[in-house]
Amino acid sequence: MSATPEAKGRLTPGDILARKGGSPVVCLTAYTTPMAQLADASCDLVLVGDSLGMVLHGLPSTLGVTMEMMILHGRAVARGLNRACMVVDMPFGSYEEGPEQAFRNAARLMAETGCQAVKLEGGQHMEATIRFLVHRGIPVMGHVGLTPQSVNTLGGYKVQGRGEDGARVLADARAVAEAGAFSVVLEKLPGTLGAEITAALPIPTIGIGAGADCDGQILVVDDMLGQFAGFRPKFVRRYAELGNAAADAIAAYAADVRARQFPGPEHIFEGKAR
């Protein structure tokens, strides 16, 4: 049974697909109910990304994220959404073995979180798996370019698709589209390549560090809100500096407690004298 019933008016993968070449698709990650509620008011698509391993759990990469973690946070996000299409990342090791393994785990994610689609990384080598899932009723969002689950193979979080390598990334994106994905994330590519891929594909491209010509954009919400003072990727615009604000607030609280200025009279309950 789905974690939450399908909400009336909820955007679907088909709605996102229909936005190709139209109004840009606004996407953000979310990992908790309160953040999902905030994102739902403005976003078309909310991704429960495996980035939660690094953002919330302090892992050094996404490789240690488990199905159980994705389901836990997926359920939390589902409780906060009424409009946005919800997609959940398939974690490392949950789909690479083959189409059958991918189907079992994707079906579990959908059944236990109530999401409307899953996202998996990889291009040409994942074409058969994507096709297998789509033919069995599981909408898939693709992900090419920099694929964080392959960071060890790629040699780090480097820009992909420069020079002759652009042909490989384009071929990966084409394979994802031809397999039936309803959209594809393009991560950390030259802007010119992002524009070329967007023009070549019949499905929406969702950029994260792939230029302004993609059909939509996505960011990790904690990066966009400035939750981490020392982490500032080139492709992220900080729309707030909540990390600094939170640090200042905690320091002010600590100072008040040590000076016995908190709690004040307005924070204390009165009792009857005995």
Instruction: Summarize pLDDT for 63-117 with one digit per residue, the tens.
Output: 999 999 999 999 999 999 999 999 999 999 999 999 999 999 999 999 999 999 9
213 is in an annotated binding site: no
pLDDT of 3 higher than 50:
no
Give the global pTM.
0.93
User: According to the model, what pLDDT value does residue 79 have?
Assistant: 98
Are 177 and 153 spatial neighbours (Cβ–Cβ below 8 Å)? no
User: According to the model, what pLDDT value does residue 116 have?
Assistant: 98
Per-domain residue ranges of the chain = 13-241
User: According to the model, what pLDDT value does residue 8 have?
Assistant: 54
Q: Show which residues are catalytic.
A: 187
pLDDT of 9 higher than 90:
no
**3-state class of 206 per DSSP?**
strand
Alpha-carbon gap, residue 128 to 183, rounded angstroms: 16
127 is in an annotated binding site: no
Mean pLDDT across the stretch 182-194? 97
- Listed range (176-190, 226-240, 249-263) with the worst mean pLDDT: 226-240
Mean pLDDT across the stretch 195-203? 98
User: According to the model, what pLDDT value does residue 161 have?
Assistant: 93
Are 88 and 70 spatial neighbours (Cβ–Cβ below 8 Å)? yes
User: According to the model, what pLDDT value does residue 115 have?
Assistant: 98
Q: Topology of 13-241 in CATH? A: TIM Barrel (3.20.20)
Give the confidence band of 203 by pLDDT, cuts at 50, 70, 90. Answer: very high
User: According to the model, what pLDDT value does residue 125 have?
Assistant: 97
Give the confidence band of 156 by pLDDT, cuts at 50, 70, 90. Answer: confident
Alpha-carbon gap, residue 119 to 116, rounded angstroms: 10
User: According to the model, what pLDDT value does residue 157 have?
Assistant: 76
119 is in an annotated binding site: yes
User: According to the model, what pLDDT value does residue 154 have?
Assistant: 72
150 is in an annotated binding site: no
Picking from 14, 140, 8, the residue whose alpha carbon sits closest to that of residue 81 is 8
Show Cβ contacts of residue 5 under 8 Å, excluding neighbours closer than 6 positions.
114
User: According to the model, what pLDDT value does residue 200 have?
Assistant: 98
Dihedral sign (CA 245, 250, 256, 262): positive
Tokens of 182: 């309803």
pLDDT of 221 higher than 60:
yes
Mean pLDDT of the chain: 94
pLDDT of 256 higher than 90:
yes
Tokens of 248: 């200042």
241 is in an annotated binding site: no
pLDDT of 6 higher than 60:
no
Alpha-carbon gap, residue 237 to 38, rounded angstroms: 18
User: According to the model, what pLDDT value does residue 28 have?
Assistant: 98
